[in-house]
Amino acid sequence: MKLLLPNKIVKRLRHELRGRRHEIGGVLVGENVGPDTFRLIDISVQLSGGTIAHFVRDPEHHREFLADFFAHTGRDFKRFNYIGEWHSHPAFEAVPSGEDIASMFEIIEDPAVGVNFAILIIARLERRSVLQLSATLFRAGIIPEPIEVIIDAKTVDSDKASLLSRLLDFFRW
């Protein structure tokens, strides 16, 4: 699997993680842009519910974020949908813990969630600005595997786009 990661999300993660000693996290939404290739579109951010070594993602906290996302993408679920979870490891290396793995398997095996795969991103900020990321793919009955992450050049450009084009982007949502 390939994951295209827009630079604006890298910047957003860096911004959210700065100065935080407790774990934070949220859900990920993405776009299917080709065979086994997805682009991360946005992340939700839950600043509560974390300790230095633990984070509990509350679905209520992200319900509105998902509803807005589905509305803005025209409810084209096969192309735009929930794609997984993220959280920070301020005190540990950015790799999944056993509890992370257990929780991800619960998500992909839960019929109420209704996905056949999900990704987990773990982020850590080192020396206040160096962002460490791991991205792992989870599928039912399959060993979790690392994901090839590509910083999305298009969105790098879009970060440098004019105010007008950014405004257009805004209204397109």
Partner 1 sequence: MGTRTWNKDRATKRVDAKIDALPLKDIEIKEYVRDTKLAGIANTMAYRVDGVHIYADILNLRDMLNVTDVEGETCHKQTLRFLNMHYRAVHRIIGRVDSILVDFHNQRLHSVFAKPYDDEAKRVHRAVATGQLITDVLARTGEDANHPAAKVRIGIDSGKALAVNNGRRGHREPLFLGEPANYAAKRAGGGSATGIYLTNKARKVIGLAEVTNVDATPLTATEIETSQNAANLGVTVDQIVNEWADDLKNNPIGNFEFTGHTPPFATLDVEGLSVKNSRRQDAATVYGDLDGFTAYVGNNIGTNDGAKHVVRTLHVLRAELDAVLHEDFQGRKVRFIGDCIHGLLVEGTAQSTDVHETISNMALCAGAMRSSFDLALKRLKDKGTDASSLGLAIGFEYGPMTVTRLGMKGELIRCSVSRGVLAAEHEQHRCTGKQTAIGKVAYNKCTHGVHAIFGDSRIRSNLDYDTAVSEMAAKDDKTARAAKAMAVSTLLKPASAAAAPLTFPDRATGPAKPGGFA
CA dist., res. 12 & res. 42, Å (int)? 10
Place of tokens 């509803």: 67
The verdict on 62 binding partner 1 (CB under 8 A) reads yes
Binding mask 72-101 for partner 1 (x = CB under 8 A): ---x-xxxxxxx-x-x---xx--x-xxxxx
Site for partner 1 in 4-43 (CB under 8 A): 23, 25, 27, 32, 35-36, 38
State the Cα–Cα distance between residues 25 and 46, nearest whole angstrom.
Answer: 5
Q: Quote the CA–CA distance of 85 and 97 in Å, as a whole number.
A: 14
Phi, then psi, of 67 in degrees rounded to 5? -60, -45
In terms of C-beta density within 10 A (0-12 exposed, 13-18 middle, 19 or more buried), how is residue 82 classed?
A: buried
Is the Cβ–Cβ distance between 136 and 119 less than 8 Å? yes
Task: State the nearest-atom distance from the C-beta of 52 to partner 1, in Å.
Answer: 6
CB of 16 to partner 1, least distance (A): 16
| Residue 45 beta carbon to partner 1: minimum distance, rounded to whole angstroms | 14
Work out how close the CB of 108 gets to partner 1 at its nearest, in angstroms, rounded to a whole number: 10
| Least Å from the CB of residue 161 to partner 1 | 27
> In a 3-state reduction of DSSP, which class is residue 109?
coil
Q: Binding of partner 1 at residue 56 (CB under 8 A)?
A: yes
Q: Which of 6, 10, 43, 103 binds partner 1 (CB under 8 A)?
A: 103
How far apart CA 29 and CA 41 sit, in angstroms, is 6
Q: Cα separation of 1 and 24, whole Å?
A: 25
When the beta carbons of 21 and 128 are compared against partner 1, the nearer one is: 21
Residues that bind partner 1 (CB under 8 A): 1, 23, 25, 27, 32, 35-36, 38, 52-59, 62-63, 66, 70, 75, 77-83, 85, 87, 91-92, 95, 97-103, 105-107, 110, 112-117, 137, 139, 141-145
